A and B are shown apart, each in its own frame.
Chain A
Amino acid sequence: MKVSRRGFIQGGAAAAAGLVIGFHVPESRAAAAAQPKPAALPTNAFLRIGPDDSVTVLIAHSEMGQGIWTGLAMLIAEELECDWSKVRSEHAPAAPVYSHTGFGMQMTGGSTSTHSEFERYRTVGAQARDMLVRAAAARLKVAPGACKVDKGVISSGGKSLRFGEVAQEAMTLAPPAKVKLKAPKEWKIIGTRVRRIDTPAKITGQAQFGMDIQIPGLRTAVIARPPAFGAKLVKFDGSAALKVPGVEQVVPAGNGVAVVAKHYWAAKLGRDALTVDWSTPEGGGVDTPKLLAEYRELAQRPGLTVADKGKVDAALGKAKTRLTSVYDVPFLAHAPMEPLNCTVKIDGDKVEIWTGTQMQTVDQMVAAKIAGTSPDKVTLHTPFLGGGFGRRATPTSDFVSEAVLVAKAAKVPIKTVWTREDDIHGGYYRPAYVHRIQAGVDEAGFPIAWDHVVVGQSIVAGTPFEGFLVKNGIDGTSIEGLADSPYIERTADRRVTLHTTKSPVTVLWWRSVGNTHTAFAMECMVDELAHAANKDPLEYRLALLKGSPRHAAALKLAAEKAGWGKAPAGRGLGLAVHESFGSIVAECAEVSVDKGRIRVHNVTCAVDCGTAVNPLGVEAQIQGSVAFGLTAALHGKLTLKGGAVQESNFHDYPILRMHEMPKVSVHIMPSTAKMGGIGEPATAPIAPAVANAVFALTKQRLRTLPLRLP
């Protein structure tokens, strides 16, 4: 996305300098460091050291559970050589200096937070250590090279100084133009199991989420939004709402109506009392059964070319056997535990926002536009996110923009609070998709022709991201994990095409994005081919993955640790392996079926993500991703009728619960491969692993999510 940075008047480093106490680069140097080719990173924007030796790390990414407050602090601490017990983290403010090193704007997504910051945060730590050592050396009257640093203490010749004692002096020194980072064998923290830095706040109720923001004069707004996609606000009558004690105002908010009250309860009852006329969606609105039937029909013929090698039609004609399968997945809501909310205070041309967002830069720009000010006048605070999964990264800033609209109309500071029903009905779903695969196989049962048609909505079409994520009409997120699938790439005659559909239903990235459907289709299809060839699904995959040793190694390890070939009585084992976000994850699911219900008992995972900065955190992400993916595999489905979502809360949009949670074993593979992501890649393989296990047990092939035995 192209973001104009001219709007940001203050340089990021200069803006951050205002926060710095105890340790910072002088502003002139910080400004110099912010020039296009900086001699050094603006250390002070990322780190401050207090006289009490406390080390505060400013985290440029949103902590939404993935453990980034811990991971990035570990990177700085590794090079700084501080005392880990003195390290704390906080969210960085929204400012250009915190732009994502790859995306050029401040945001969190794509499982990139650790690898995109691996150089930057270590460099900041190394720079700061160099400055502290020089300051200490001057005081101790020794050469910097004669100093040793350990756990926040700089020592030389029997004398020593603590970081806190020299931080003030260090801040007057120029950061070094170049630092040498440690070699992996010198690491003391990276690669060790470090417990989360945010635990104390989160087990005592002290952690502040967006929902918890309280400021003087704050009012709560609950908004009536369209009941169906494509419906428009016609007129409303707020008189009954205004009679609810505590309700103060009823104001229009874009394509909705906001009830502003003293507290949530009054605002919610006020909204229940509103009379609102909505238009009927054009054409009657989306019906999901009809939509999926249309998708299946479209899938009968090729769409826009994604990949086309060899002569797939001729090869299919020549193949000994052809196998055709159609897979489909429904719309899904992210349903983070913290319902969406956004606090906005407008004061003249200044806007202050508190919200759990994954997309600070875009939110600032959108808010500025609505409020009629410039982005630098929008101060955006990021409290903890009560789950994100992509829902808090909207290119349209949906939940921020409506909050700014309400604050502007109501002329008081407001916090919008979404109910769970608002969240489930609120759109920005994982889009529904259909895959149709035709594979032609040789005598041995291996594919020689692969014709793959994908049908579904583009996530980024019509957003500012379209320009760089859509190439030649193909939204990369629609087919990720497919065009580069090792199974397809090894097939000489192959074609992958895409029908990008349009509907008024808003769609968005949902943990692991396109991989949620591409991995399901690919790994189920390969399993079907293995069984059709009368081959063991593990051996069959390994034969296909000869050119992909990392995939093969992960798959072998997961299978071996799961006891492949030795399923206990009444249990079935199923495999899947998939690469996404630069990491490879293989999963083996062990399932049983009880009165038609699928139970997942064990999931064995092998992960190749390159360097695992914090294996304890990696394991948590794998466990969590499996749970997230299992919710989609076993439960998740939104049904639309006349454009209206029929589900509304956790009773009819169930989330995996404790009694359904399998035991997840995680095996992190030693790897020198380029570092990949870890927040998402274990999500996609679980649905196909479970579907394949169900087949192994019951001989029933399930091709629709959520998985339901007939």
Chain B
Amino acid sequence: MERSRYMKLEINGKVREVDAPPDMPLLWVLRDIVGLTGTKFGCGMAQCGACTVHLDGKPVRACVTPVSSVGARKVTTIEGISADGSHPVQRAWAEADVVQCGYCQSGQIMTACALVEQNQNPTDDDIDAAMSGNICRCGTYQRVREAIHLASRLKRGGK
């Protein structure tokens, strides 16, 4: 492991200075150094999506993203998508009663947020393509799908 160095990261709109080894994955910087534990560790090899965060709005797997590669890109975590759980995706998640154990849900929601941002009206196939990288062991997929359809309606201003 390389020696720690100071890096500036913009996380959820706030600039933070972190002292971390450059090759340390962003996931562990967020969790163990910054103290934002909403982003989860599931596999460590970009297989499960539990660690999904946004870099400049694009979903990435924080468990395989070296912190030194983040640079000036804006980091958004589950804690940063809304102040009070009012993001359309979160509202849809509550309405559809999606969560079970909840552990994968931060990652599911982060991937879903990016999907509804770039696709106004995702089809089931679009949802399959976007969400198949996020594993849910409780098997909440059916309600995740419902919630994404609902979120896209909410986002378009419909009911």
Contact = CB atoms under 8 A, between A and B. Distances in A.
Q: Do A and B come from one complex?
A: yes
A602 to B, nearest CB: 11
B145 interface: yes
Interface in A655-681: 655-659, 661, 663-664
Contact of B137 (A200, A335, A620, A664): A335
Interface in B105-140: 105-106, 109, 127-129, 131-140
30 contacts: A202-B102, A203-B94, A203-B99, A204-B82, A204-B84, A205-B36, A209-B102, A211-B37, A212-B37, A245-B4, A263-B33, A264-B41, A266-B1, A337-B101, A339-B41, A384-B101, A417-B41, A420-B43, A420-B47, A420-B48, A620-B100, A624-B140, A628-B138, A649-B43, A649-B45, A650-B43, A650-B45, A658-B128, A658-B134, A661-B145
Interface in B36-67: 36-45, 47-48, 50
A569 B63 CA distance: 44
Given A204-B79, A204-B82, A623-B140, 12 more contacts: A67-B100, A205-B36, A205-B79, A212-B31, A214-B37, A264-B31, A265-B24, A650-B47, A650-B48, A655-B135, A661-B145, A664-B142
Contacts of A203: 85, 90, 93-94, 98-99, 105, 109
A492 to B, nearest CB: 40
Given A205-B77, A244-B1, A650-B47, A658 B131 contact: yes
B14 interface: no
Given A623-B142, A658-B132, A663-B142, A385 B101 contact: yes
A164 interface: no
A264 B44 CA distance: 12
A199 interface: yes
Instruction: Give chain A's interface residue range (CB within 8 Å of chain B).
Output: 35 or more
A246 to B, nearest CB: 7
Nearest to B79: A205
A627 B141 contact: yes
A204 B39 CA distance: 10
A419 B28 contact: no
Contacts of B93: 199, 203
Interface of B: 1, 3-4, 21, 24-25, 28, 31-33, 35-45, 47-48, 50, 77-79, 82, 84-85, 90, 93-94, 97-106, 109, 127-129, 131-145
B28 A265 contact: yes
Instruction: Give me the 7 closest cross-chain CB pairs, A-B, nearest first.
Output: A205-B38, A627-B139, A386-B103, A65-B101, A202-B102, A65-B100, A205-B78
A206 interface: yes
B44 A624 contact: no
Interface string A47-72: 00000000000000001111100000
A655 B50 CA distance: 14
B100 A66 contact: yes
A578 B159 CA distance: 40
Contact of A419 (B4, B44, B134): B44
Contacts of B138: 65, 337, 387, 624, 627-628
Contact of A624 (B82, B100, B129): B100
Given A623-B139, A657-B132, A64 B127 contact: no
A424 to B, nearest CB: 10
A664 B24 CA distance: 41
Most buried by A among B24, B25, B100, B140: B100
Given A203-B105, A204-B78, A624-B100, A661 B44 contact: no
Contacts of B28: 263-265
Given A203-B93, A211-B41, A337-B104, A623 B132 contact: no
A199 B92 CA distance: 11
B32 A386 contact: no
A626 interface: yes
A419 B45 CA distance: 10
A388 B101 CA distance: 9
A386 B101 contact: yes
Interface string A243-273: 0111000000000000000111110010000
A336 interface: yes
B102 A649 contact: no
Contacts of B143: 620, 623
A387 B137 contact: yes
A269 B24 CA distance: 10
Contacts of A195: 94, 97
A532 interface: no
Contacts of B103: 209, 336-338, 384, 386-387
A613 B108 CA distance: 28
B3 A245 contact: yes
Contacts of A199: 93-94, 97-99
Contacts of A389: 137
A387 B139 CA distance: 11
Most buried by A among B32, B129, B133: B32
A499 to B, nearest CB: 32
Contacts of B127: 658
Nearest to A616: B97
A196 interface: yes
Most buried by A among B35, B85, B97, B145: B97
Nearest to B100: A65
A511 B109 CA distance: 26
Nearest to A626: B139
A6 interface: no
A206 B36 CA distance: 9
B101 A196 contact: no
B128 A659 contact: yes
B97 A196 contact: yes
A263 B32 contact: yes
A664 B4 CA distance: 50
Contact of A651 (B21, B32, B47, B98): B47
B38 A337 contact: no
Contacts of B82: 204
B32 A624 contact: no
A208 B36 CA distance: 11
B48 A337 contact: yes
A107 B44 CA distance: 30
B39 to A, nearest CB: 7
Nearest to A658: B131
Nearest to A70: B97
B39 A205 contact: yes
Nearest to A269: B1
A293 interface: no
